[in-house]
Amino acid sequence: MLGAPPRARQRRTIGGVPKPLRNLGFLTIGLFDEADPRRGHESTLEIIELGERLGFDSAWVRHRHLQFGISSPVAVLAAVSQRTSRIHLGTAVTPLGWENPLRLAEDWATVDILSGGRLNPGLSVGPPMRYEEVKEALYPDTAEVEDFSYERVKRLLGFVRGEPATAAPATEGFEVFSDRVQPHSPGLGSRMWYGGASLRSAEWAGEHAMNFLTSSVVKAEGESIDFAEIQLSHVRAFRAKHPDGDRARVSQGLVVVPTDSATAAQRDKYAEYAAKRLPRTASPQGPARLLFSPDYVGTSDEIAERLHSHAAYREIDEVAFALPFSFDHEDYVQILTDIAEKLGPALGWHPAE
């Protein structure tokens, strides 16, 4: 029961060392050139196919609107589902403010059925990014009354989990109507993920029996500005509220770039990328006090050592390492190959059969 007290939790460590990594995934933004969008989408499909061949457990795509990235993960993952057979497929995350919960529930259930039960939808709430600029195009008649609160998530969860969408089934002439979203995919409700950066989001996800995605961004809401410490507090708060307690699923999404097989030019590119992003990690950014994690760039042994000392990583056994933005296809091939063949084993992970 959701109201039951949390069971006693134990640190997910053995002898002070983190448990072996159980689930290794990766996240891609799926960028494309405006003049040739098909090539960018094909690159994303090929990268996920490569991930399956390398034994990754999951592949996740970001969601971008009015940008040169994946605007329709539903369509992309439907295509991926027909080119793969084992790897789990997720969104990290779908901003629900752009979506109609009932229609999205139909789309996700359809892709889950087509994939054989491999879909892991991740979502977040809040007004759409740049809402003042897009609201007339997105919600021309209802912009001022749209509800972007957690209630929007609750509606979606209900539809996905089979709650009624209408008063009762009906028949009109030859047409038969269901009272719930069709198709219904029974296991999908347990594979819904909430992407949260705040303590309240972590607690809400736990209270509603969702899984929890925590990324390379958190909110510094208290006195601490230690990223790992804040992220750890979110993981523990989530599990304290979840009916499964310490068994509740958490996936961590840091930016990780191993360089084991990288060329000298690639290593220079990766180092420059991380250096440009490093200043934002020194202190909370903006009114929301967003705190960013440094990127993890180096050999697999170096990255594994840093992760093993990361307070939040030590309590999870699932990751979806984020691929950096704006790199080339061959860079992603090298990074994914090193993660699967070098970093994963250094973290105790074994590739799927």
> Which residue ranges form the domains of the chain, and what is each CATH number?
13-165+180-346 (3.20.20.30)
> What percentage of the chain reaches a pLDDT higher than 90?
93
Residue 8: is its pLDDT beyond 50? no
Residue 9 has pLDDT above 60, yes or no: no
Instruction: Give residue 352's pLDDT.
Output: 84
Q: What is the pLDDT of residue 66?
A: 96
Mean per-residue pLDDT over the chain, rounded? 94
What pLDDT is stored for residue 274 in this prediction? 97
| Amino acid 16: pLDDT | 56
Give yes or no for a contact between 185 and 112, defined as CB atoms under 8 angstroms apart.
yes
pLDDT confidence tier of residue 18, bands split at 50, 70 and 90: low
pLDDT number for residue 6: 34
Is the pLDDT confidence value at 98 over 90? Answer: yes
DSSP assignment of 203-230 = HHHHHTT-EEEEESEEE--SS---HHHH
Output the pLDDT for position 187: 96
Write b or e for each residue in 28-52: b if 16 or more Cβ atoms lie within 10 A of its Cβ, otherwise e. bbbbbeeeeeeebbebbbebbebbb
Q: 181-213, pLDDT tens digit by residue?
A: 999 999 999 999 999 999 999 999 999 999 999
pLDDT of residue 2: 33
pLDDT for position 19: 81
Contact (Cβ atoms closer than 8 angstroms) between residue 300 and residue 17: no
pLDDT digits (tens, 9 = 90+) for 130-173: 999 999 999 999 999 999 999 999 999 999 999 999 999 999 99
* pTM (two decimals): 0.94
* Tokens 């704006």 -> residue: 326
Q: What is the pLDDT of residue 11?
A: 42
pLDDT for res 212: 98
Q: How far does the chain reach from its first CA to its final CA, in angstroms? A: 36
pLDDT tier for residue 17 given thresholds of 50, 70 and 90: low
How many CB atoms lie under 10 A from the CB of residue 181?
A: 26
- At 5 the pLDDT is 33
- DSSP reduced 3-state for 264: helix
Count Cβ atoms below 10 Å from residue 319 Cβ, excluding itself: 28
Over residues 213-232, mean pLDDT: 97
Q: Is the pLDDT of residue 224 over 90?
A: yes
**Residue of 299, 292, 301 whose CA lies nearest to 346:** 301
Asked if residue 3 has pLDDT above 70, the reply is no
Residues 6+ apart with CB under 8 A from 72: none
Confidence bin at 323 (pLDDT 50/70/90): very high
